[in-house]
Chain A
Amino acid sequence: MKNTKLTLASFLVCISLFAAALTACGTKEDTANVNASSTEATQTSDTVNEPTEATVDPQTGTDSMIATSGELKTALEGKDEAKVKELTKKIEEEWLSFENDVKTKLPDQYVNVEKYLNTFIAGGKQTELEFDVLMTLNDSLLPALQTLSDTLKSGEGAVNKDSLEQSAEIQAATKEYAKYVQAQGDELVTGLEALLKEIKGGDLKKSQDQYVKARYPYERIEPIIELFAELDGTMDARVDDFASADDENFTGYHRLEHFLFVKKETKGAVKYAERLLEDGKKMREEIAAMQIDPTLFVTGVGELMEEAQSSKITGEEERWSKATLPVVRANVEGAEKIFELLRAELKKKDAALEEKIDKNLKAVLKQIDDYSPNGVFTPFDQLSQTQQMDLKNKLEALAVPLVKLPGTLGQ
């Protein structure tokens, strides 16, 4: 509440923004710290410019504001100038004592209250009071406060990490997910052992096939893996980071990919396959030792979809192996796992969303499978541009509802 010259237009913009933002809220505390007033507006009142720490519980604060608003109504009807001024000051102080809390938890409601309150406070400080204008404003303010109070009571709409942490069902799902991640870690090591064996054996075709298989577990739990930046860097770096593909520091999956699919040789790849297995074992230890908290687990869906939609969908990630389809599938499978574990909870909160995710998830998987007849994936560069675009569209259609899962569960 900094400025008093607020145009309705700017509010409408804010409101529509927040309406949009709220459906896709994050899962941590304090969302948009919105200050509805634009910096261009001029300061005309002598309001306090410092953000005040919330000292009052928002519920209590809102209810006492409702009471003050009622008193104001009486004072305005009686045209009691001194009383109106006194109560204006009072309602302003009440709001200041907890507004920050509302701002972070319920940005749209915050804007809704400020819309009337700011103008009211400015009006209530004029030397000449315009009782009828103040009356109208107060009459609009009351329902806004009422709505806020109701929302606070029901606890809806607020982004609340605590509710994620405190839900027994989600705690249980998180434990399940930790098991899944560990199983993928084991599979990762097994896959890399098999890959080393094939490469040492010198059969190029088998090595190539095993390279692709060894990608799956890694890609299914990418959000977890990325937490170990250094290992991720040695295991999954792309050639773009180096001056050339022959750079000694270029290690990991994609170095092997280069050997197997570009140079078409296994001999030079042996030492890199050994190194990758070593790193894979370290990675397994790291993920076995870590604590996965519910937020990390739930928000993983967004990260996995991001993976699939950014560098993979253009084919650049698997540029030599052309194995984009199975690798994208692994990302989607990782997201599917998280969704499966949370479905029942999501259904309670938003059945329509659950249904939409389910439908679009099936569509993506079917699309990938259609492009992989008899379980053999079509090399990505052999898909037509229309098919590539179609896959991207289906991934997007899944991502858009899926990223709403964390915010919905956090309510």
Chain B
Amino acid sequence: MSKQLSRRKFLGMAVTGAAGLVIGNMIDLPSRVQGVVDPTPVTPSSPTSATNPKTAPEMEPFFGVHQAGIVTPAQQFLNITAFDLLTEDRNEVKDLLKTWTQMIARMTTGKSPMDQAQNAKFPPLDTGEEVGLSPSKLTITIGFGASLFDKLGLSSKKPKGFGQMPIFHLDALKEPLTHGDIVVQACADDPVVCFHAIRNLSIASSGIAHMRWQHTGQSGTKPEGTPRNLFGFKDGTNNPRLNDDAFMNNNVWLNASDAPSWLVGGSYMVVRRIQMRIETWDQLSYKTQEDTIGRQKITGAPMDGINEHDEPNFKDDANGKVTPLDSHIRLSNPRNGEQSERERILRRGYNFMDGLDEVGRMNAGLMFICFNRNMKTQFESIQNRLTNAKQLDQLMKYTQTVGGGYFVVPPGVKNANGYIGEGLFS
């Protein structure tokens, strides 16, 4: 027993407790090819050693028809990271996705590989900062950028018409913050749990992919009703109910007529980092703020309504006297019946508050994330209306999109034998 070992033993004891660590100093584990994979696959029903009844409701199921983190009620924190492939070898990418799938399945249950025997001569099997934390409803959602298909020579698998996010009018996209081969969205009620997930997935991807960009976001921890964005307005009033299956089938989930069969049950994801011009917004009069959004600030009600969920009557306000024609609400959803219903998207955004920018302004805004079934007829149709120079959404004067991308999200993994994106390689 060397000094070093006894020190480790001591450390092990120090963090023993909830997770019940066993530090096996003398055991040489077999090769660690798979990075930090837990050799025992987790099945949906397998109880985990770290589970206690108190934390049970803190878990979001991983296995299912769709990936979690889309119609999952929004958790409080977000860490979204894009990866770029370092390899063109399909098998390496396939193995990475298998590894990631196993890790995600395990992490979402809150089980840590830190409670198994480890080799003292190698880095720990897991970074460990989540030991003792609840699973915190962690969900991980993975999507693929158009560039991934090109790099791997899998153009035949790419859905028709799916490409890079275009530059919309008034965007100021910064290359390092835009696009990416793979996107990983981690959401949880604990920011450390999000960070830990991304960090360990990144370690596992070493040599196969590297992080391209990363953003964090948060919503108020206990919002009453619809959460507010940093402009102080309720954001998401018009979102569908998360259990509205009919809406999801019509507007979110891909079916056989939309995409290749391996993507059925998946969705298209749009990510946009929208900087808010906080200081200039705060100089606006109350009236101008409400006119810009087209809703009442406190209640969230439309200009002609009383309560948040009242439907605005745009038909009787053709000149925009009540709700200005170039207000955000009016351009984002003109409420043209059938047509507007078909356009609707599922938004799942978070606020970001990242200190100050280079001239000392608040570096804050909205990590806009949405899911839809058809980029052209849904997200792009709305976005083109908002950014049409002839009648610009007034909100555009106080926002600037600097990054993000388009990703296609494959369906969920049904059981422990499958892995995310499996259809890509079969």
Chain A residues engaging chain B, CB cutoff 8 angstroms: 2, 14, 17, 21-22, 24-28, 30-35, 38-40, 49, 51, 107, 159, 229-230, 232-233, 238, 240-243, 302, 305-306, 309-311, 313-314, 316, 385, 388-389, 391-393, 396, 399-400, 403, 406-407
Contacts and interface: CB of A to CB of B under 8 A. Distances in A.
B288 interface: yes
Contacts of B338: none
A230 B280 contact: no
Contact of A316 (B172, B288, B397): B172
B285 A33 contact: no
B306 A399 contact: no
B14 interface: no
8 contacts: A2-B307, A27-B285, A28-B291, A34-B298, A35-B298, A230-B389, A305-B283, A388-B358
Contacts of A392: 359-361
A30 B317 CA distance: 15
Nearest to B402: A240
Contacts of B308: 39
Contacts, number: 125
Contacts of A238: 172
B287 A159 contact: yes
A243 B171 CA distance: 11
A306 B389 contact: no
Given A17-B298, A35-B299, A240-B167, A310 B285 contact: no
B316 interface: no
B392 interface: yes
B244 interface: no
Nearest to B172: A240
B285 A243 contact: no
B359 A240 contact: no
Contacts of B359: 313-314, 385, 388-389, 391-392
B397 to A, nearest CB: 7
Interface string B223-244: 0110000000000000000000
A258 B300 CA distance: 44
B286 A233 contact: no
A27 B299 CA distance: 22
Contact of A403 (B285, B287, B290): B285
A243 B167 contact: yes
Contacts of A316: 172
Contact of A32 (B224, B290, B306, B358): B290
B297 interface: yes
Contacts of B152: none
B277 interface: yes
6 A-B pairs closest in CB distance: A26-B287, A21-B286, A26-B285, A389-B360, A403-B283, A392-B359
Q: How many B residues touch the partner, as a band?
A: 35 or more
Contacts of B279: 309, 396, 399
Given A25-B287, A230-B390, A389-B359, A14 B170 contact: no
Interface in B19-62: none
A310 B172 contact: no
Contacts of A400: 283
Given A39-B225, A314-B359, A31 B286 contact: yes
A49 B306 contact: yes
B285 A24 contact: yes
A230 B303 CA distance: 29
B301 interface: yes
B388 to A, nearest CB: 9
A12 to B, nearest CB: 13
Contacts of A40: 224-225
B167 A242 contact: yes
B18 interface: no
A35 B301 contact: yes
Interface in B259-300: 277, 279-280, 283-288, 290-291, 296-300
A407 B289 CA distance: 14
A392 B362 CA distance: 12
A49 B288 CA distance: 27
B173 A302 contact: no
A406 B296 contact: no
B376 interface: no
A406 B225 contact: no
B129 interface: no
A68 B273 CA distance: 56
A346 B308 CA distance: 38
Nearest to A111: B298
Contacts of B167: 240-243
Contacts of A17: 298
A14 B285 CA distance: 16
Contacts of A240: 167, 170-173
A40 to B, nearest CB: 6
A32 B290 CA distance: 7
Contacts of A34: 296, 298-299
